[in-house]
Structure 1
Amino acid sequence: QPDDRGLIGDVPVLRVTRRGPEAVHFVLAALEPGAEVLLSLDWERRFDHMQQHSGQHLISAIAEQMFGFKTTSWELGRQRSVVELDTPLVTAEQVEALEKSVNEKIRDRVPVTVRELAADDPEVETVRSRGLPDDHVGPVRVVDIKDIDSNLCCGTHVSNLSDLQVIKLLGVEKGKKNKTNLVFLVGNRVLKSLEQSHSTEKALTSLLKNGPGEHIEAVKRLQSSVKLLQK
């Protein structure tokens, strides 16, 4: 998950990285040691990451429950996110069923909670995980989606699935090593994508002088005309 941004006093935070148990902040200017400062968080960025990350947990859990597809990695991108599934094929029907199921869970307003376990607690072995970093110290953090999923995770998450608003699965792409990448948007990213699509549709309607349902045929006719002129 990408790092948080914000201000320490009035100094912008450019990047945050982890060194063992410590969070190291890279800032635009030097800060006075020992000074008392007000921390300000870029909430829009944080909430976006919370929505995408909790959405990924939900998608991964339901994909495994419904079809046995295990998640081997994922990426929270700037515009879209991707879950890598350990399967060579995901059908359009499976994508549709998965999207329907995860959105039903959102409407069910399922709680999401966070708890800590000792690293040697036997329960750690029962929680879904891709392993701990080699430099991990201290307790481990578990994110629970009630009756759906328990996952070792140090990321930021919503407190209820209803905060996700909606999940849109954009489709699948061929992944590496016989795997499949499932592309998705969650929450505010869905609304932004819809707004962009609507703006594009309005512009095309104005340029092509026809309705949205006729855009494709109009473009095909234009392409044919261009090819004839080029002969």
Structure 2
Amino acid sequence: MLKDRFYYEDAYMKTFKARILQKGKDSDQRSYVVLDNTAFYPTGGGQPHDTGTIGGICVIDVEEVEGVIRHFLKECLDSAGEVAGAIDWERRFDHMQQHAGQHILTAAFVDLFGFQTVSFHLGKELVSIDLDVEDVSADQLAAVEKLANEIILENRPIETKWVSEDELTEYSLRKQLAVTDEIRLVIIPEFDYNGCGGTHPNSTGQVGMIKILSTEKQKRKVRVHFACGGRVIQQLQRKHEELSAASKLLSAPEDGVSNAIEKLLTSNRTLEKSLEHAKEELLSFEAKRLVEHKNGIVVRYAFTDRTVQELQKLARLIIAEDESIIALLVAENENHLQFVAARGTLAKASMKQVAASVLPLLNGKGGGNDAFVQGGGERTMTGEEMLNVMENTLVK
């Protein structure tokens, strides 16, 4: 029976002895053993599996397959008969803290605002729940976190009880249960009654604390990321290190980092505007220089590593200098060729015909109208060769 398993009899059991019932390999050739009883919790209900050792061999995974718990080992176990098992207690207790913290936080959302939890994930660094609502305010998050930590400080007992389906009417369950056989309730008196197969500490005080860290939208639901117990300290240490590093980089005290960043951003925006203005002036100067070296009514030039946006701006500046000019500009960028062809209002040639002459040669694509086109494709020729094709189209 489920309730006879060691991890349910005593969640604090760190070592145990059991008999080997079966050895084997799964379809992925992973070695496993089956014991007559175990303190290793298998993956399930949002809680990851335990790790540790059996017979001195590392347990890397624990799964329940058709009612049988398989302990997957790093290497084959030579032992037979009785073996000793040892749980990685630090990992187990962390999972106990996070899982119990999830119960408390979920119950707090229900108690204060009626927000139901629809899923739970216990990750390596953070824990998350998905709430069946589209939005949660900062004030609501603060209120829930406050209530959850009050429940922890009260150090209420966390009880487990095995009940029958008929006995469920005696309890005010947070949500309807999916199982009808061997039902295990996890109870925080006068606060939370919930069916659960996970491991938990025996009092809320051992959860330590709960800190909500962030939220995000997930398909008309809200995902809440949080940490409990020792993980809060880890998150605090990580954030302190980041804040300290930022403080040094900004030459500002830690409590003045946000102000320093705001000043830096303001300065950066000013510099970006100045840089953009300088670029525009350089392009204008470049356009004048190119017009001075026009060949008849054509200005042509092949660039290296220029964006098509820069080509477009440059072409517009060129034809603004002289309305009778046609500008043919090409950029060679790694394995691609890009071009812009533009005419002044007094020029008569069709730029669409120019594009039509070169695009098939590049296996490319483009768009525009008779006055202005742009496009690009594969680098099947040099920029100068492409300019020759474009200019020859104008002659024709």
TM-score computed with the length of structure 1 as normaliser: 0.88
Aligned pairs for 1:72-83 (under 5 A) are 72-83=118-129
Aligned pairs for 1:63-78 (under 5 A) are 63-78=109-124
- For 1:202, the equivalent position in structure 2 comes to 244
Q: State the shift of 1:140 in Å.
A: 1.7
Aligned CA-pair RMSD = 2.2
Q: Which has the larger radius of gyration?
A: 2
Q: Structure 1 unaligned segments of length 5 or more: list them.
A: none
Aligned mates of 2:173, 2:68 — CA distance in 1: 24
- For 1:152, the equivalent position in structure 2 comes to 195
Deviations 1:92-127 (A, max 9, x none): 110011011111111111110111123x33417853
Aligned mates of 1:203, 1:229 — CA distance in 2: 29
Aligned mates of 1:5, 1:83 — CA distance in 2: 24
% of aligned pairs identical? Answer: 35
Q: Is the 8 A contact 1:95 1:169 kept in 2?
A: yes
Aligned pairs for 1:35-114 (under 5 A) are 35-114=81-160
Aligned mates of 2:61, 2:55 — CA distance in 1: 16
1:211 maps onto 2:242 in alignment: no
Aligned pairs for 1:108-147 (under 5 A) are 108-118=154-164, 120-123=165-168, 127-129=173-175, 131-132=177-178, 139-147=182-190
Q: Is the 8 A contact 1:116 1:139 kept in 2?
A: yes
Residue correspondences, number: 226
Aligned mates of 2:64, 2:175 — CA distance in 1: 19
Aligned mates of 1:110, 1:204 — CA distance in 2: 40
Aligned mates of 1:223, 1:81 — CA distance in 2: 36
- For 2:207, the equivalent position in structure 1 comes to 164
Instruction: Name which structure has the greater RCO, CA cutoff 8 Å, separation 6+.
Output: 1
**Structure 1 residues 132, 107: closer, same or farther in 2, change over 3 A?**
same
- For 2:227, the equivalent position in structure 1 comes to 185
Aligned mates of 1:211, 1:221 — CA distance in 2: 19
TM-score computed with the length of structure 2 as normaliser: 0.53
Q: Is the 8 A contact 2:126 2:226 kept in 1?
A: yes
SS of 1:38's equivalent in the other structure is strand
Aligned mates of 2:270, 2:70 — CA distance in 1: 59
Aligned mates of 2:156, 2:174 — CA distance in 1: 19
1:31 maps onto 2:77 in alignment: yes
**Structure 1 residues 155, 206: closer, same or farther in 2, change over 3 A?**
same
Of stretches 90-99 and 178-187 in structure 1, the one that deviates more from structure 2 is: 178-187
Q: State the shift of 1:167 in Å.
A: 0.4
